[in-house]
Amino acid sequence: MNNKGKILIVDDNKSVLNSLNLFLKHKVDRVITCSNPNQILNLLETEDIDVVLLDMNFSAGVNTGNEGIFWLREIHKYYPKTVVTLITAYGDIELAVNAIKEGANDFILKPWDNQKLLATLQNGVELSQSRKEINDLKQKTKQLIDDTNYSYQDFIGKSPSMLEVLKTIEKVARTDANVLILGGNGTGKELVARQLHQLSNRSGKIFLGVDLGSLTETLFESELFGHVKGAFTDARDDRQGRFQTASGGTLFLDEIGNISPTMQSKLLSAIQNRMITPLGTSKSVPVDARLICATNQNLQELVKQGLFREDLLYRINTIQISIPPLRERGSDIVLLANYFLKKFTDKYDKPKLKLSDKALETLLNYQWPGNVRELCHSIERAVILGEKEYLTPSDFILSEDISKEDILQNPISLDEAEKILINNSIKRNKGNLSSVARELNIGRQTLYRKMEKYGL
């Protein structure tokens, strides 16, 4: 048994208990013996038992097996996942069938064959541990789903443009229509996607996001469709793709405007057929994921330029939701600023810190090229460095406030200079991140990390 498993043996015959204990004690992690069945539930409460080896008769002269059936039912009433194997000297087919129907894992006759007994218990331990792993995975998945939904439950915005977005979300959420979310960097495209999922009939299932812009062509198929062992050099095990993992839930494909024509073709096939074929096999797998896509690019313009497939665009934008930039959301800036202020003063234990009227005026007048993400990072930085009771305009370093002369004449950190450089490149290239990456001579993944870091 490879020293695995904890066995509880319940039998009123002390010689049987001693014999089984001597035989098993060096073959399992632990053997617990019990002659009184009334102690079973207490032992299951205090010990992590893998298999209960349960006698079927405890009263002298009784050989119906009813006592064993009773305790089997009691065990499964309070501990339904427990593996129970029954053992009796009065074995017949009808008794064995009744025991299995009641949920017993197996049936052993006295006198037993040691090797058959060992094999039966080993199978029981493996079944028990598999059940525990599955249950643990289910609990972790549920907790992850609950935590994710809780983390994204606040959707902040009262401006007319955001109320229109919320209205559309409420209309669309309970359908399975494919949704395309448009908006600049940092406007909250993922937040809208999560809100759609949370209000949908799939809210109890997984929400899985994929940043397509960070995937190379060589990784694209493996990540989205999965692979089997040996499909390529580093494929040491089978792996589910994101489409299959998200089946039953929601799959969010971010930065869809940045994928190549080859990747577009493969994605279109998966969406049309609702089937994927993992790398290394010809066997297709059905998938049922609600698809939500997002981009900061003008896909209609990319279609005109021959850079994006028109048929793929039609497939992904049954419903289109456009998120306004922060600069067009008016007083939402104040709502968001106070929300982030509360979040970060709690996080950094600065509960008395407030935003001054001048600071709010500065935030309202700023253009926010990095949108909500930039506002969030700006508030966090100001809270961390703030030393007074109120945050003032001087506590915020906003890229529009810094001219070329400021950079040359005033002290500025390398991070702040890099943020300005990236922000200017984004403006110059009208949000085309592939062009920004080429212009700055960095990889797209590096660009995404820096944009996240600086709130752009």
CA distance 242 to 67: 50
Residue 441: count of CB within 10 angstroms of its CB = 7
The predicted structure's pLDDT at residue 81: 85
pLDDT, mean of residues 204-210: 89
> Rounded distance, CA 158 to CA 333, Å?
10
Domains of the chain and any CATH numbers: 6-134 (3.40.50.2300), 152-322 (3.40.50.300), 326-454 (1.10.8.60)
pLDDT tens track for 158-187: 999 999 999 999 999 999 999 999 999 889
Q: Report the run of H or E that residue 147 belongs to, with start and end.
A: helix 114-151
Residue with tokens 């129907």: 101
Residues in the chain: 456
Residue type, 8: L
CA gap 128, 28 in Å, rounded: 14
Give mean pLDDT, residues 283-289.
Answer: 90
**CA-closest candidate to residue 320, choices 182, 158, 152, 175:** 182
Contact 46, 20 (CB under 8 A): no
Eight-class DSSP state of 412: -
> What are the tens digits of pLDDT across the range 318-368?
999 999 999 999 999 999 999 999 999 999 999 889 999 999 999 999 988
Dump pLDDT digits (tens) for 113-128. Answer: 888 888 888 898 888 8
Range of 21-30, 60-69, 189-198, 389-398 with top mean pLDDT? 189-198
Helix-helix angle 332-347:357-365, to 10 degrees: 120
Look at strands 250-254 and 207-211 and give their pairing: parallel
Residue 71 has pLDDT above 70, yes or no: yes
The count of C-alpha atoms lying within 13 angstroms of the C-alpha of 319, restricted to the half-sphere facing its C-beta, is 20
Tokens linked to 148: 């994710």
Among candidate residues 393, 388, 377, 366, the one with its CA nearest the CA of residue 341: 377
The CA distances from residue 233 to 222, 265, 282, 320, in Å, are 12, 25, 18, 40
- Secondary structure E strands in 172-221: 179-182, 207-211
The predicted pLDDT at position 199 comes to 92
Task: Give the per-residue pLDDT at 112.
Answer: 86
Beta-carbon neighbour count of residue 160 at 10 Å?
A: 12
Q: Are strands 354-355 and 390-391 parallel, antiparallel or unpaired?
A: parallel
- Among 255, 294, 249, which residue's Cα sits nearest to residue 148? 249
